[in-house]
Amino acid sequence: MKKVLVLWIVLAVAATLMMESSAWAQTLKIRFAGNMPAQNHSSKAMVVFKEEVEKLSGGKIQVDLFPGMQLGGASENVDMVKSGTLFMCYAGAAYFMGFVPELGVISLPFIFKDRPTVEKIMIGPIGKDLLKETDKAGFAGLAIWDLGSRNITNSKRPINVPQDLEGLKIRLQPAKVMLNTFKALGANPVAMDIKEVYSALKQGVIDGQENPFTHIRDHRFYEVQKYLSVTGHFYDVMVVAANKKSFYEQPKEFQEILWKGVEKGTQYSWAQAGKEDAEAFQDLQSKGMVVNKLTPEQAKLFRDKSMSVYKENEGTIGKKWIDGFLQANQ
């Protein structure tokens, strides 16, 4: 009996070793795309991911990076990941909302109290549960990276009160909640992929756009925009996602390494994005943009006028998500 037991143990260990050696005999080459230039913190977080994954896998996993819209704009990257022609990408949460409407809670106006609260929520249990919603749409939701508070630029005038937006064509990401917000504020919102924005501003097709300071600087919008109004109407994040089938068909050892790489990249993102955003704000001022900051009284006017958007999007986003985020910001 003992000999039989020993034999079974030996066979089990041998089978395990064969499975492990088989997995490690494989190699994996993945493509990771993003829409920000190489110097942006999100693209630098990609490099952190790549270095960690290749180190932990001993080169068995090779990561090819494509920042700066090399494989198309954000919408195209998300579509490619969805279809499986691209392994993974990062893109603003808005670009996933057509597939995952629950992500719209992130883009509700003035929903976040401050940057530390955003980080606490997005890397905590609520953010992780929200990220799981991407699985239903064929994505493997891997992480949420910091992006920053969004502010308005335009070529016409400073934006001090909602009435200053009236008649202005403002580019927004293709997200219903964002477009509804600017309609409520009196602007003429135009949905447009980030890759088209610079030329549209330069040609006067649109009057302005809204983005974090790093995006405004790194996409050189200061070259074609005069006014920068610090409104902080949305706080935005990047969603890092892979094709669900492609990710989960990999050996468990590879999946674990990819998760560890994503964790490293996430830590970098939340540590660096705020610093780079502050630096970018100073850069934009030095480049001659005319800057105005909303006073608390002015900010309240924007907040009050956009609150109807919460109710309008409750059915799409889900009341539980809206209530949960509001409570988490207390």
| Tens-digit pLDDT profile for residues 125-146 | 999 999 999 999 999 999 999 9
| Domain count of the fold of the chain | 1
pLDDT of residue 330: 86
**Inside any domain, residue 16:** no
pTM: 0.88
Per residue in 198-235, is it b (16+ CB within 10 Å) or e — as a string?
bebbeeeebbbbbbbbbbbbbbebbebbebbbebbbbb
| Contact status, residue 173 vs residue 197, Cβ threshold 8 Å | no
Which whole number is the average pLDDT over 46-58? Answer: 98
pLDDT confidence band for 21 (50 / 70 / 90): very low
CATH code for position 190: 3.40.190.170
Q: Please name the residue that has the structure tokens 């809204």.
A: 210
Alpha-carbon distance of 9 to 3, in angstroms, equals: 10
Q: How many CB atoms lie within 10 A of CB 73?
A: 18
pLDDT, average across residues 206-230: 97
3-class secondary-structure state, position 90: strand
Rounded percentage of the chain residues whose pLDDT exceeds 90: 92
Give residue 323's domain range: 27-328
Residue 3 lies in a domain: no
Average pLDDT value for residue range 191-212: 96
Residue % of the chain over a pLDDT of 70: 92
Query: Is residue 159 one of the residues assigned to a domain?
Result: yes
User: Kind and range of the H or E element at 147?
Assistant: strand 139-154
